[in-house]
Structure 1
């Protein structure tokens, strides 16, 4: 089994609806994202996936979130913009392109707090 990972980041603001505590108020994060793909077969070049292609697709998704108020985003108008839901959103956006290789998406909202989504 092979596994590849890339990291990226974006900055945004949000607040958690119906949450009792500080996170109910508007605040921001510099989110760190890790995307992991896995598979048993390499291509003819010896790659599971071209890092350049994976990075390009992740950048497309993150560009829709970067420097925004997440609560205004169509997806997050229906679900709270938690780290868990951000990981789910990114995973589902990547899955059509890398369906058989998707492993997990990890979203770090701080140096010591992260959420993962995988199927």
Structure 2
């Protein structure tokens, strides 16, 4: 098995809906995303001969996704009252709405799915909320 690994990071805020503890309050993280690609065989033709994929393309794909979230308030769809959301938008806050609870586990799956949709042979994505704590999502083997 051959593989590549790259990482990127972003700063963003979130809160956990229906959670009872510190994370129910708005807070932020320096999120770190580590993505892994795996293939059984290297490419056999063209400029990517003997490669998993072009490292530059892989890094750019991960960076583009983290850039979408950088310095945004990540919000679970339906978790804020419409007038609260309207106020945040009116004040110019950068919002990124997702259809899931904003846990590190769900963000790992979001990154995985986004990379897979680009045709990358993604095998696992780790999402760190802190330097010591991460969640991951990996391909079902």
Fold shared by both chains (TM-score > 0.5): yes
Structure 1 residue aligned with 2:38 = 38
Q: Deviations 1:23-47 (Å, cap 9, x if unpaired)?
A: 0001100011100000011124321
- What is the deviation of 1:58? 1.1
Q: Is the 8 A contact 2:7 2:62 kept in 1?
A: no
- What is the deviation of 1:57? 1.0
Counterpart of 1:64 in 2: which secondary structure? Answer: helix
2:96 is aligned with 1:73: yes
2:48 is aligned with 1:61: no
Structure 2 residue aligned with 1:87 = 108
Structure 2 unaligned residues grouped into runs of 5+: 76-94
Q: How does 1:102-113 map to 2 (within 5 A)?
A: 102-113=122-133
Q: Which stretch shifts more, 54-63 or 81-90?
A: 54-63
Q: Deviations 1:9-32 (Å, cap 9, x if unpaired)?
A: 000000001010000001100011
Counterpart of 1:74 in 2: which secondary structure? Answer: strand
Structure 1 residue aligned with 2:56 = 52
Q: Please report the TM-score for the alignment, with normalisation by the length of structure 1.
A: 0.91
Runs of 4+ that moved beyond 4 A: none
- What is the deviation of 1:70? 0.4
CA distance in 2 between counterparts of 1:74 and 1:10 reads 16
CA distance in 1 between counterparts of 2:124 and 2:5 reads 9
Structure 1 residue aligned with 2:138 = 118
Larger Rg: 2
- The number of aligned residues is 116
